[in-house]
Amino acid sequence: MSYDPTPQLIVRLSYPSIFTPAHRMQNPKPEDLKYYQIEGHIDPNDPDSAIGKLFTGFKESLSGFVAEKFPEGVPKNLRNPIRSGDKINQQRVLDGKEPRPDIEGKYVISFNVPGDWERPKVFNYKQEAVIAPDPEMFHPGCYVALRATFFVGDDYGKGKSVGCGYQTVMFYKDGPHLGKGPQVIDPKDAFAGITGSPPERSETDGVVPIADSDWP
């Protein structure tokens, strides 16, 4: 079966660690490996047709990968990387945790790249490389496009699992912040009644002038 091993996908970003690797689990041990991570959400009813179209292609690539890796048949209880947000919330309630409203009615996919690998390239919407961390652009709630990869692993001793990594990620479009988001502050209100003054320095403070004789 022919398939794209690195399909494109657009997801809503949640819990990103795309600039600095982080632990995947709570209460990690110091020796536990860190990962570059993306938790992506997909709304099956999203009005953006590109999201649904690419998700269909992603699922076709996933099926092709599974068929290639398990030619004699899919193992029993093979863990699918595409998870139901509603089922995740059901388990959270059983575990005594609060359900997550951000994943209600959504599909959830986690993408992980080992932190000791080269960091996947990050791009803005103009497809220009983003070098320095930019949490305001890549905030939980925005949408990103990525090139996904697949791998087979062990599901914590429960059997085989199919996981996802990613080769590169690009900011696609903005969206409402998940969670509280950044606090919007009007400086006129925040500093009402306070009047500042300019710094007492010349325009050349901190700048060393270069004489004409210093030029080669």
Is there a domain that residue 43 lies in? Answer: yes
Is there a domain that residue 188 lies in? Answer: no
Average pLDDT of the chain? 87
What radius of gyration do the chain's Cα atoms show?
A: 23
Q: What are phi and psi of 215, to 5 degrees?
A: -75, 140
What CATH number has the domain bearing residue 30? 2.40.50.140
Please enumerate in sequence order all residues whose Cβ is within 8 A of that of 43, keeping only pairs 6 or more positions apart, or say none: 12, 51, 105, 106
Is there a domain that residue 190 lies in? Answer: no
Residue 156: pLDDT band (50, 70, 90) is low
Is there a domain that residue 141 lies in? Answer: yes
Is there a domain that residue 213 lies in? Answer: no
pLDDT at 216: 42
Contact 160, 154 (CB under 8 A): yes
pLDDT at 167: 97
Is there a domain that residue 179 lies in? Answer: no
Is there a domain that residue 214 lies in? Answer: no
Say what the pTM is: 0.80
Structural domain boundaries, residue 153: 8-173
**Structural domain count of the chain:** 1
Is there a domain that residue 46 lies in? Answer: yes
Residue 160: both structure tokens together: 């085989």
Please enumerate in sequence order all residues whose Cβ is within 8 A of that of 160, keeping only pairs 6 or more positions apart, or say none: 75, 78, 79, 152, 153, 154
